[in-house]
Structure 1
Amino acid sequence: MAQTLETLSRRTDTLGSIRSIVHTMKTMSAINAVPYEHAARSIESYHQTVLDGLRAFVAKTGPVSVPDVAQAERLLVVFGSDHGLCGNYNEILAESARSESLKAGSPARVLCVGARMGDALGDQGIRPEFTFLPPASADGIGRLASDIVTRLDEIGGGDVHNRIAVTLVFTRRADKGQREPEISQLLPLEPTLLSDSGASGWHSRSLADYTMPPAPLFAALLRNHIFASVFRASAEAMVTENAARLALMQQAEQAVDDRLEEVGGQFRLVRQDEITNELMDIIVGFEALKKPSVVHSSSS
């Protein structure tokens, strides 16, 4: 009986330690998500400025021709994780990437972010051409975005607008704390950005103008558009990764609490049985001490 109590006591201590670790990881996930969320919001303002610049360029120069997507080389950039404890985060996104890759009949070239995403893509029969390291903090998002932009520029031979069709695949936040895969076309640019008609026109009492040569100006605007889009996708992916880890840690914490309650109940039952047995031993001993005295009195 004493051994059983000792075992249950050790289990309680172990579960308490596990709960402390889980609670710490849950807190870190909640804290880590905040800077990435701020980064995702801040890049939107910068991206909007770049888009306004593209519209101003088109308003001054005239419509830019849209390349034929069918003739461009297809690339997927898939944003995953490099750390575990986030459930099936990578596996769900890898399935979406596989479906997108096979849309045109032949597999697309794939760049991925995160070693675990690379493994998940491998399980889907996709071998990434290159795997980037995900950002360790919000400050690292710019580094990752620059690396991806540079790699795309190398693949496109300096003419990404006409030579490659790029799609971003990442996980974004959905309603009611949920998350879902997002597939966003990055290149070629949307026709509405390159035409000077309708809602995409330049709406201002001041005429758009620039002094740079058109070719390098368009290349700079395009590069910044790609950078901002990749930056936002990376930040959104990191927010949802930490949210997935937070949800998993909450489930784990609840499971540990339930197990602690169960072990605590077992401990109390065993302890009560021990107390009952000890009381019975006392009563039996007391009765045993009384009997000789009664017999001696009767004999007298």
Structure 2
Amino acid sequence: MLARTSLTRLAANKAPLGAAPAGARNMATLREIELRLKSVRNIEKITKSMKMIASTKLAKAQRAMQAGKEYGIANAEVFKVAQTDKPAPRKLFVVVSSDKGLCGGIHSSVSKATRRAIANSPESPFAVAESSNKTAAPATPSNTPATEIDADSPIMVIGDKSKAQLQRALGQNLVLTFNQIGRDIPTFADAAGVADLIVKSGVKYDSVVLVYNKFVSAISYEAAVNEIKGEEALKESDGFKAYEMEDDFTKDLAEFSLANAIYAALTEGHACEQSARRNAMDNASKNATDMISSLQMQYNRGRQAAITNELVDIITGASAL
């Protein structure tokens, strides 16, 4: 009688191997774990591929960055001659980022630095930039109160990612945004186009403050600023007053130096982006590998438990016979 009952129960149990008990809740079956394993393995393949692509692009970006820095060095030499003690009363902030994500905190870094840069506090390291080639690392807290923000400071943003972040905090300050700039390696033509649109935008400014990511090494970066003197500042500088020049000379020089500085910032920011993307994909691949190991162990334990239960039922039925 006992044997018939055991055999009848085994025949009625149509559940697949590894299925959760009928009364179990929130218990992953072997089939669900297997599907998660397959999904995580696919994600690991994608992140490893993206890491390899970013590593290749980083080498090209570093070469372009070295070429772009030459433009910045030329600008620094020009502004040594055009140095003046008169501060620029109205500054235009140009934020350099990109349209792509999956690269860590690259975009939030320049967004926070922009909020600090236009904060109305004299102790801010970004408040005053004395030369075109000086950079400063963020040292003040990022949660600047809204009451300390200068509402008259116009902001232009290169890249959709930082635009979306600054739109929430400083939406009233945004006057112009750019996208599709530097989708591959930035060129001087891209920088010249941005500089031309800035000049033709009609926004009044005495100097342009570039906020961008400074390339420190292949694994680190920091936010930096670079102030570019305007046409009036060049005219008033003692170095240019000593020479007899045409009226349009300072205007053309101001536009060309702005394009140079934007090109240097674009190339350096692009190198930082590729470096951060490679590091982000490397971390994602390592996390996927750890998750695969954990899920594989959970799957093996569940499979062994299911097989043990089936063997217990068969042995019990055989013993009853």
TM-score band by shorter chain is 0.7 to 0.9
Match of 1:152 in 2: 198
Distance 2:199 2:218 in 1: 38
Runs of 5+ consecutive residues of structure 1 not aligned to the other structure? 197-211, 290-300
Instruction: Tell me how far 1:8 sits from its aligned partner.
Output: 1.7
Aligned residue among 150, 166, 183 for 2:225: 183
Q: Percent identity?
A: 21
RMSD: 3.3
Match of 1:259 in 2: 291
Instruction: Tell me how far 1:38 sits from its aligned partner.
Output: 1.4
Distance 2:88 2:54 in 1: 42
Match of 2:87 in 1: 69
Q: Is the 8 A contact 1:66 1:188 kept in 2?
A: no
Q: Is the 8 A contact 1:36 1:239 kept in 2?
A: yes
Give the 3 Å change call, closer, same or farther, for CA 185–213 of structure 1 in structure 2: closer
Q: Is the 8 A contact 1:51 1:225 kept in 2?
A: no
Q: Is the 8 A contact 1:26 1:246 kept in 2?
A: yes
Q: Deviations over 1:165-195 (max 9, x none)?
A: 110001112368222210111225999xx66
TM-score by length of 1: 0.73
- Structure with bigger helix share is 1
Q: Is the 8 A contact 2:37 2:296 kept in 1?
A: yes
Give the 3 Å change call, closer, same or farther, for CA 169–50 of structure 1 in structure 2: closer
> Does 2:18 align with 1:2?
yes
Instruction: Tell me how far 1:20 sits from its aligned partner.
Output: 1.3
Of 23-32 and 256-265, deviating more is 23-32
Q: Is the 8 A contact 2:228 2:258 kept in 1?
A: yes
Distance 2:112 2:271 in 1: 20
Q: Is the 8 A contact 1:82 1:114 kept in 2?
A: yes
Give the 3 Å change call, closer, same or farther, for CA 106–50 of structure 1 in structure 2: closer
Q: Deviations over 1:98-151 (max 9, x none)?
A: 22223475531111011121111112224421111131111x432331122112
Give the 3 Å change call, closer, same or farther, for CA 125–214 of structure 1 in structure 2: closer
Instruction: Tell me how far 1:36 sits from its aligned partner.
Output: 2.3
Please say which structure displays the higher CA radius of gyration: 1
Q: Is the 8 A contact 1:69 1:165 kept in 2?
A: no
Matches within 5 A, 1:73-92: 73-92=90-109
Q: Is the 8 A contact 1:94 1:120 kept in 2?
A: yes
> Does 2:216 align with 1:174?
yes
2:174 is matched by which residue type in structure 1? P
Aligned length: 260
Match of 1:277 in 2: 309
Q: Is the 8 A contact 2:208 2:230 kept in 1?
A: yes
Distance 2:317 2:110 in 1: 71
Give the 3 Å change call, closer, same or farther, for CA 128–141 of structure 1 in structure 2: farther
Give the 3-state SS of the residue equivalent to 2:174 in structure 1: coil
Q: Is the 8 A contact 1:171 1:182 kept in 2?
A: yes
Match of 1:119 in 2: 164
Instruction: Tell me how far 1:96 sits from its aligned partner.
Output: 1.6
Instruction: Tell me how far 1:286 sits from its aligned partner.
Output: 4.5
Give the 3 Å change call, closer, same or farther, for CA 240–47 of structure 1 in structure 2: closer
Matches within 5 A, 1:138-149: 138=185, 140-149=186-195
Q: Is the 8 A contact 2:96 2:157 kept in 1?
A: yes
Aligned residue among 258, 261, 267 for 1:226: 258
Match of 2:154 in 1: 109
Q: Is the 8 A contact 2:68 2:267 kept in 1?
A: no
2:198 is matched by which residue type in structure 1? L
| 4+ residue runs over 6 A deviation | none
Distance 2:42 2:201 in 1: 50
Q: Is the 8 A contact 1:132 1:144 kept in 2?
A: no
Runs of 5+ consecutive residues of structure 2 not aligned to the other structure? 1-16, 20-28, 121-126, 128-149
Q: Deviations over 1:43-89 (max 9, x none)?
A: 2334545666x49xx9xxxx668484344x31000012212223333
Give the 3 Å change call, closer, same or farther, for CA 239–261 of structure 1 in structure 2: same
Q: Is the 8 A contact 2:215 2:221 kept in 1?
A: yes
